[in-house]
Structure formats: C-alpha cells, structure tokens
A and B are shown apart, each in its own frame.
Chain A
Amino acid sequence: MNTLRCQYVQSRIAAFVNNECTERERRIVGQHLDKCSTCEAAYRKQRGLQRDIKRDLPRMGSATSGQLNAIWQRIEQDLATPTPQPTSNALRMPSSTWHYGLVAAMAVILLTLAWFTDSNSVYAAVPSQPVPQDVVEPRIATPVRISNQQSVAIAFATEYVTENEQTAPASGGILHNTPRQTPEPVTTQTEVNRTQ
C-alpha cells in the first residue's frame, strides 16, 4: 500500500466489486485501478473471493433428505405433545454438581457480557418487523427427541444435496393421514432459483 489514495481505494474495493459504490467512488477507484498494479491485484483477489463465495456459500451446510426426514419426525412428535409448562428444571442441578454449576454459570455470564460488549451495536437496533414474542427467551424445556435419530447427522459434510433433490418427509405421521411422497416440484424449483 503506497499512498493515501491506495489506502482509500483498497478500503473501497469490496464495495466496488459488489456494485455498492457511489458514482463518484466508482470513478475514483476505477481510474486508480487502471494505473496502480498493487491495487489492481487486490481488486482481482477480491473479485476472485466474491466469485468463490457466490459459488460455494449456497452449497455450504446442506442437509441430506434423511436428516430432514428425521427432523420432521421430531417436529411431529413435538406438535403432538402438549406444550409443557415453563419450569426452571433446566436450571436445577443435583447438589453434588452445584459448585461446578455455579462456576460454569459465572463463566457463561462473563462470556455473555463480553459477547454483548463486543457486538453491542449489532442487536441494539429496533426490529422493523415483529419478532415472535418468545423467540428471544432461552428455551428451557429440553426438546423432545427420538433417541435413535442422533446418528443420522454423521458424515454429511461432504455430501451436498440441492433442494430439488430433497425427498418428502416421512408420511403417515401424527399430523396427516394421507401419505405424501413427493415435494412440490414447481415451488421447490422456485426456492432453488431464489438461492442461486
């Protein structure tokens, strides 16, 4: 980075690549890139990174249909179970682990404070749409689970499944009586288009 102009241009390169510059910024950056090889190299790297992000991020973290089916079964189970009364069970501990629990709780509080301090500008803004009322409360009750489904989640990281390959959740559950084996092709496609 050689000059103040280089510093400025490099601070605007991400915005430049994203088409988020003002007309004036775009002109300044563009003109400088024509004559500065250092900044031009930084620009090409940013463009390459942008290309990688756009290509790789939509594939990151995809589920297998088996995972989605397993989650659906848990959801059905949850919906069939009467809503538990809020209790503080999760906060009660056996007396022998009480001291460890206290230490852990203090640590969590300190870390949480640090987290809030670190990102206090992040969540301070007023939401522009209603956030569901209980969403921000820590969930106290343990989610209902079907025990043998934990193992479904293994070895998934390398398997990328696009959304239109997703099969329908298992049928015959609590919520519905009619078997339903295929996803809706039109709407699934829409979802896929949307994310590309």
Chain B
Amino acid sequence: MLEHDDQQQAVDEAIIERCMAGDQLGFTELYERYAASVYRLCNTLLNTQEDAEDVVQESFVYAFKNIDRFDSDRATFKTWLFTIAVSRCRNMYRRKQFPLVALSAALQLRLPSSSGEHPETALAQSNVRDAVEEAVRSLAPHLREPLVLRYAHGLTYREIAEIMGCPQKTAESRVRLAHQKLRKIMQGQGRSLLEEILLI
C-alpha cells in the first residue's frame, strides 16, 4: 500500500475516534473528505443525478449512524463507505431496472459530420469523452462497477473485490471483460470517430 494511503487511513481513524467520542464536527470532516468521490462513484454507476444524490445521502447517513460498526482492521474507511454506496446503488438498479442507454443513437449524434475531413481537435476530444461515458454507461452493472472503481477511483483489485464482495480474480477478469466490451461497443458504434482519434 502506498504511503499516502496509510496517512489517509490514519487521519480517517483519528476523525472517526472523535466522531465516536461525540465530536460532531468529525462527521463534517468525513463528508468533506469523501463526498466528492462517493458522489462521482454513484453518479457513474447510476443513470440520473437525482438517484446519485439520494444514494450519496443514504450512504453517508448510514455510515454516520453506524460508525461504531466500522472495523479498521478489516477495511479502510474509504472501502467501507464505497461498499455501502455500491450496495445502495445495486438496490437502486433493482428498484429502477434502468434501461441501458440507447447507445447507437447517443453515439451517432456525437460523431463529427462526415463532410468535415478533419474535425477540430477540441470537438473530437469532447466527442471521445462523451463516447467513453456513453459506452461505460451502457455496460452491465457488474462490469461497470469494477471498471469505474479501477479507473475512476484508482482502487486496487483487492479493494475492488472487497467492495464488490467477490474474489479478487473475479474483479480482475471483470475489468478485462469490461475492456473488451467497451472496445467492441466503441468500434461498432463510433468506428470512424475512433479511427480518427485513437490512431493519431
């Protein structure tokens, strides 16, 4: 584990001790430290910002009300919090049964017009970003989760396995599978765009 992870964990544990001793400012600090990443996680896994906001709220409320259940010997606060958030995102998928994004429509709208031989770089970059985002959103949750945890949050496979409640090997193979699917999706839907951008 990298040193800054250890430091982060030590700071978290000190704050949590204060929370458990009744210092309510500690909760504010924990929120400040993790709200942005928990939000980003939920908003990437779920399809609407409203759902993401609800799940972030529920996750922190749960964590704060159950802070005494956090066991620093078994998880970092961050992975514990992410575990809570991912579980609640899963509840949300089940409740909403959200449809997968209609990818072909979304991507084709964003392709540069075929009349322009060389799309402007900025536009092209933003198209790729949109295309990546749409493609990620089109992945099934069990592939989207590890991909996002890995690349958007820089977690290790061990941490991802903890959060997803699966063996580490499974986490690794799902990230690989997610990659393959993304590649297929993006090749299939945005072929000309990708060739222009990726092969520079």
Contacts and interface: CB of A to CB of B under 8 A. Distances in A.
Contacts of B32: 166, 168-169, 183-184, 188
Contacts of B54: 143
Interface residues of A, number: 80
Given A150-B50, A169-B32, A61 B39 contact: yes
Interface string A86-123: 00000000000000000000001001100100110011
Given A14-B179, A115-B94, A195-B153, A79 B132 contact: no
A83 interface: yes
Given A68-B39, A70-B53, A195-B154, A138 B91 contact: yes
A2 interface: no
Interface in B85-110: 87-88, 90-91, 93-95, 97
B199 A44 contact: yes
A1 to B, nearest CB: 13
A191 B8 contact: yes
B177 to A, nearest CB: 8
B154 A194 contact: yes
A187 interface: yes
B140 interface: yes
B136 interface: yes
Given A48-B198, A169-B28, A83 B65 contact: yes
Interface of chain B, main secondary structure? helix
B58 A132 contact: no
Contacts of B4: 190, 193-194
Contacts of A190: 4, 7-8
Please provide the 10 A-B residue pairs with the shortest distance between their CB atoms, ordered closest to farther.
Answer: A48-B198, A61-B43, A127-B165, A122-B142, A135-B87, A14-B179, A63-B39, A61-B44, A57-B152, A163-B36
Interface of B: 4-5, 7-8, 11, 24-25, 27-29, 31-37, 39-44, 49-50, 52-54, 56-58, 60-62, 64-66, 69, 71, 74-75, 79-80, 83-84, 87-88, 90-91, 93-95, 97, 128-129, 132-133, 136, 140-142, 147-148, 151-154, 161-162, 165-167, 170, 172, 175-176, 179-180, 182-183, 186-187, 194, 197-199
